[in-house]
Amino acid sequence: MTHEEVLRECRRILEDGKVEAPSFTAPVSGTFPLNCDIAEDIAVVTFITSMPDDRSYCSEHYVFERADGAWEYLGGGSASMDSPCPVRLPRTGLGGAHLRLTGHGLTRRRRPALFPERRWIVTAELQLCDEAAALLLNDRPVTVPGHGIVSAVWPTLQPATATALAADGRALSSLVLEPRTWFHTPE
């Protein structure tokens, strides 16, 4: 897919509010939507693209802000993963954890924020183990696709707490996401 095709697909996904992500059972070949998270007027859409070696893939994050009723692309980033496809791992594959942080990003809003602390858009990519059925970011539910790779977004540099939940709703474990320790940002 070209960059413009991906952005068109991102906007379609944002209007639908969800991603029909496949369950990956074989190495990735091509570009596919992986995850989407919308929090008020900001969003992140993640795509996965196979690398030329067919033994790894790249996750690409596209950050948006809703302005005047339309989703405006602000930027994003990418990271390569050392596996042929995204798969849900057991806890032992995540070092005994129910969830782990695998990437993060920071984007500045284009529109002036009413409150200065909300001028940043923070993204985090998390991997959930096979025991985790759901995720809360602070108290907001974030969709967990079958492959267990989740991108989450929030509108402030304040820490966010990601909590992995079992299918019965009980908390398995939490991870405090602290953007101020990830980035040097001017106040």
Q: What is the pTM of this model?
A: 0.86
36-46: pLDDT as tens digits: 999 989 999 99
Q: What percent of the chain has pLDDT over 90?
A: 41
Give the pLDDT score at 92.
76
Give the pLDDT score at 51.
72
Q: Which residue has the higher pLDDT, 155 or 55?
A: 155
Give the pLDDT score at 24.
63
Give the pLDDT score at 10.
94
Q: In the 8-state DSSP scheme, what is residue 94?
A: G
User: How many H-runs (helices) and E-runs (strands) does the chain carry?
Assistant: 2, 11
| CA dihedral sign of residues 94, 107, 160, 133 | negative
Give the pLDDT score at 31.
81
Whether 153 has a pLDDT exceeding 90, the answer reads: yes
Mean pLDDT in residue range 88-116: 79
Q: Which residue has the higher pLDDT, 139 or 59?
A: 139
Which residues lie across from 45 on neighbouring strands? Answer: 36, 62
Mean pLDDT in residue range 52-56: 68
Whether 85 has a pLDDT exceeding 60, the answer reads: no
Q: Which residue has the higher pLDDT, 47 or 50?
A: 47
Mean pLDDT in residue range 3-28: 81
Q: Which residue has the higher pLDDT, 87 or 16?
A: 16
Give the pLDDT score at 86.
64
Give the pLDDT score at 142.
92
Looking at beta carbons, which pairs linking 7-10 to residues 24 or more positions away fall under 8 Å?
7/62, 7/73, 9/33, 9/47, 10/45, 10/62, 10/64, 10/71, 10/73
57-82: pLDDT as tens digits: 778 999 999 988 899 999 988 877 66
112-131: pLDDT as tens digits: 656 666 678 999 999 898 89
